[in-house]
Amino acid sequence: MRNRHHEDHQAGLSGAADRLGVGLAVCRRPRSSRCIRIGVHAAASVVRALCRGRRQHKYLDRLEDAFREWWAMMRDGMTRNPASTDAEVAWEDVVALAETVPSPGKPHAAERAIRPLWRDEYQARTGATRQRLWVDRVASAWLIRRFIDPKMRFLWLDSPEACPPDALGFDFDGAAFTQVGVRVTFEVLLVSFGLDDDAALLRLGEMVHALDVGGAPVPEAIGFEAVMAGARQRALDDDQLLDEMGRVLDSIYANFTASTKNSNAAGRS
């Protein structure tokens, strides 16, 4: 019965995405702001269904690709008026809503001890995590490359079940490194490899924690999230996204390191 319900749910989402695609194709012809509003609200309804379905990212990808092309063409040809402005604002709301859809396989916090590990034993490995990187995964991948295994290459998984047995998985249930207790994966990596004596990395961990699971506000978090959302829209794949966000994290880390040194110097004077 459960499998039957799941199949019906998938079929319903697929049908909704297909109907939306047809509707958007029809809307291309008149290029009216009213048509844009219809398309935006149709998109929002599908995204809400995706939020309820949690794991239907292939439909979100189809929606996103089709809508980007359609929206660019419609916007180029429409007359600016209050209705078109409302449509543009509505589309931004759709994008924000889409970003709230959890990635497939988002881990549950494990209850276990975090063992100390040695970096020398984790060199030239293959890492694997869920595709469509978001804050904790991109920060963890950056941390591994920067401080643990500079030669690690990454696989971006459609689902956790696709992780090869010899790969070092992170940020999914059953992975070698995942959320433990109140710590997100980035923080678990810090503790595991003895990097939690670096005050700048601890501050980065607080930022990642706040964005991933909530908690005490971190001033830099809002800016990082905005940059991440923009980079995610522009990047062609997760490798490109990691490269771009890696440079952002390098800069934030350098700033945190400098501010820590300045605070320590001021405390000694």
Q: Where are the domains of the chain?
A: 2-98, 119-268
Tens-digit pLDDT profile for residues 76-94: 555 556 655 665 666 566 5
Calpha distance 31→230 (Å, rounded) = 26
- Long-range pairs for 4-13 at CB < 8 Å and ≥24 separation? 9/53, 10/53, 10/56, 12/49, 13/46, 13/49, 13/50, 13/53, 13/56, 13/59
Cα-to-chain-centroid distance, residue 24 = 26
For the chain, the farthest-separated pair of C-alpha atoms sits apart, in whole angstroms, at 71
At residue 229 the predicted structure's pLDDT band, cuts being 50, 70 and 90, is confident
pTM: 0.65
Summarised one tens digit per residue, pLDDT across range 196-208 is: 999 999 999 999 9
